[in-house]
Amino acid sequence: MSFLLYPSRERSVFPDGKPLLWQLGAYVAVFQRPEFGTTGALLARRVEEDGSEHGDVLIHQLPTSSALAQTSASVFHEEWRLATQLSHPNILRTLDTWLDTPPGTAGDAPRPLFFQLVTEYVPGETLSSVLAALDAKGTRLPVPMALWVAAQVAHGLHAAHEATDAQGQSLGVLHRDVAPAHVLLAYDGGVKLSGFALARTAVRLMSGPIFKHVGSQPPEAQRKGSGQVDRRADVYGLGVTLYEALTGVDPFRRSHDYDSLKAAMSGDAPPPSHHRPELPPTVDAVVMRAMAPKAEDRYATAADFARALEALRDAFAPGDGREELAAFLRDLFGEERIRARTHVPTLAELRARAAALETLEALPPASEQEPEAEDRAPPTPATRFVPHSRLLYLYGGFLLFIVAALVANVAKSRESFVAEVTEVARAGQARAMSCLRGAAGERVRVLLQLDGAGHAEAKVEGPLAGTVAGRCIEEALAGLTWPRKRGMPVTVEVALDGP
């Protein structure tokens, strides 16, 4: 298994862009939400057969390359059925799951299966998006707020760890991938954790690298042949997430994946105060305990971690964390984005918007549209708009012209330089010919290396190299006065009938 940095871990604030309007089962996908979790999500709306719309949801898709539908389906149902039984204010509620088998004929090559998990849609931002917006402004998440958010996530984790079925048997739920991309900060100040069962299902179904972040995986989960983890693994992931929320720094991010894995395995991370000096030792102690490489050194339960976080926050600034978070998100992202993500237009409005965008994209550039005769204004100098593709051609052609001119100039200079060197060699032909007595018609190649000061180093090539005659020719040519230019090596020929 390869613990690579998955794309959603890369901090970005994503706009909604053009409406998708994809039909997925009983749902119509509206916008992409790539910032959600390991695989991203789709904002969708359920549509009944009569065309009525019934609220917005998030669809999390997980592809698998397995061609054995029955085996994959059993894994899917085994892992994700647990998510539907979780209910807590700090857990994103799972509403539906289904297996989407792509259409195809018997002769087709095996096609990927898509497992769909549908959760409630709560308007808000992931912690990853919040950290990206703060990075852009060069600031940090307030310490009391970071502690309060982590405490809410800890409460959700503890509820999942303690969840039981109808018979009172423990469900044995672990998240296994607590990370900023799975922490949802609602615009109304709520905090919810998403992604339950997703990491485990991905490991079991997806071939090739598993795109997770090493920081969310404790050392005991990363050891080869291991995988035996308990609830303290999620405490570890939340500790790493809190570290990043406080400092804006991923504690184990290195330039190479192997180095990241090695750092996480050894717990090679400085305390948060290393990156944010105003943090007191009490914060360092709580965070580093949750991130301890050995499971027995961490908090035994997420509830214990939550109590420690709440005690720290009360020491900083007791208050209503929900109201403070709502006000903070409003100031950070602005009313326009919050309004757009809270009140999603109807499908009819979205289809009209998509059609308008397609029409706008199909229009020619404004400068190429001819105005009506009566509306035409007197011609005035203007800058003509040129499409990007044509600009690329123009720039490319200009660049090729410059390169061709340079090559031609270099070739011409080279040709002139060789002619000048050859003329000097011809002038010293008599001295070189004396070295070839008795060798009528003999032609010898000599490599000349000019130093730019009128001197040259000569080296005979071929059968005469190293012989007495060869050294004689080298001395004869080296004694000439050459052009005072430092040029490329020049090869001349010495013969009884001239070079």
Predicted TM-score (pTM) of this structure = 0.68
Pull the structure tokens for residue 150.
């982590």
**What's the CATH number for 391-495?**
3.30.2420
CB 97 within 8 A of CB 117: yes
Smallest CA-to-CA distance from 332 within 148, 143, 184, 141 is with 141
Architecture of domain 7-351 in CATH? Orthogonal Bundle (1.10)
d(CA 386, CA 30): 33
What stretches of 26-123 adopt beta strand conformation (E)? 27-33, 41-47, 53-64, 94-100, 113-120
Residues of the chain with CATH 1.10.510.10: 7-351
Supply the pLDDT for residue 412.
Answer: 58
213-246: burial string, b at 16+ Cβ within 10 Å, e else: bbbbbbbbbbeeeeeebebbbbbbbbbbbbbbbb
Which residues fall within 8 angstroms of residue 191, CB to CB, at 6 or more apart?
A: 90, 149, 152, 153, 156, 183, 184, 185, 325
Residues of the chain with CATH 3.30.2420: 391-495
DSSP conformational letter for 392: H
Question: Catalytic site residues?
Answer: 177
What stretches of 34-81 adopt beta strand conformation (E)? 41-47, 53-64
Helix axis angle for 281-290 and 302-316, nearest 10°, is 170
Residue that the structure tokens 């007495």 belong to: 468
Q: Which residues pair with 362 in a beta bridge?
A: none
Supply the pLDDT for residue 386.
Answer: 43
Question: Could you give the 3-state DSSP secondary structure of residue 88?
Answer: coil
Supply the pLDDT for residue 358.
Answer: 72
Q: Order of strands across the sheet with 456-461?
A: 456-461, 443-450, 490-495
CB 252 within 8 A of CB 264: yes
Supply the pLDDT for residue 396.
Answer: 66
Tens-digit pLDDT string for the chain (499 aa): 233 333 334 566 777 777 888 888 889 989 988 888 767 788 999 988 787 888 899 988 776 654 455 666 777 777 777 888 899 999 999 888 877 665 554 445 555 567 788 999 999 999 999 999 999 999 999 999 999 999 999 999 999 999 998 888 998 888 888 999 899 999 999 999 998 877 667 666 654 444 445 667 788 877 655 557 899 999 999 999 999 999 999 888 877 777 777 888 888 889 999 999 999 999 999 999 999 999 999 999 999 999 999 999 998 877 889 999 999 999 999 999 999 899 988 888 888 887 877 777 666 665 555 555 555 555 544 444 444 455 555 666 666 767 676 666 655 565 666 676 677 666 666 666 666 554 545 567 777 777 777 777 778 776 666 666 667 777 777 777 777 765 556 676 666 454 4
Supply the pLDDT for residue 322.
Answer: 93
d(CA 301, CA 161): 9
